[in-house]
Homo-oligomer: A and B are copies of this chain.
Amino acid sequence: MSDRTPSADDAYHLIREQILSGHRAGGDWLREGELAESIGVSRTPVREALRRLTAEGLVHYERNRGVQVQDWSEHDLDEIFSLRAVLEPWGCRLAAVAGIVDVDVLDDLATQMDKVAPGGRPTDVDKLTDLNNLFHRTILEGAQNSRLTGVISSVVQVPLVWRTFTRYTPEALQRSLAHHHELVAALTAQDPVWAESVMQSHVRAAWHTLRTPD
């Protein structure tokens, strides 16, 4: 009961992590046998993990052929961000109206992000990513619609989007960080229109930032 193996949805988390981090590239085949061996379990739990990832859209499944990591085009990015640009501002407005978001937590997250990326130059992208995802999720939870939260997170789980900040210029990142503080202010003021429009700017700015570089 001490080193209890939570068991093999470890497999799920491990594989998922490898995909989101970009360690497994789009198009790579994921072989059940290989994964099972590397994780140290049998194929059964690996298959289970792969089916979960299939349902979430992170991998692509073909009967009798296996699964490969989904790969992502500019078109996918547009789909994702046009959807986000509708849903996140709406959720942010709902959160402002409901007024149950803990703005102190939010403010703390925004400040931590400032510290991790002084001058728009991140020192720890993983940390920044975690903080950012938590920030957005916290706001959405304030909208009191669990399906909204679920839908957005299912759509955002794409390497390119997940690791958004690896592609930001210092200027873009600083603007993004400023948006966070403005969101805190709008939510503190419980002004739904303000909150919605800042979030809309925030998402659309991110969209363009990811589209143009490279």
Contact = CB atoms under 8 A, between A and B. Distances in A.
A34 to B, nearest CB: 20
Closest 6 CB pairs of A and B: A55-B55, A79-B147, A79-B145, A151-B151, A51-B51, A86-B90
A102 interface: no
Interface string A46-75: 011001100111000001000000000000
Contacts of A151: 83, 151, 154-155
Copies in the complex: 2
A146 interface: yes
21 contacts: A44-B44, A48-B48, A48-B51, A51-B51, A51-B52, A55-B55, A55-B56, A79-B147, A79-B148, A80-B147, A82-B145, A83-B145, A83-B148, A83-B151, A86-B86, A86-B87, A86-B90, A87-B87, A151-B151, A151-B154, A151-B155
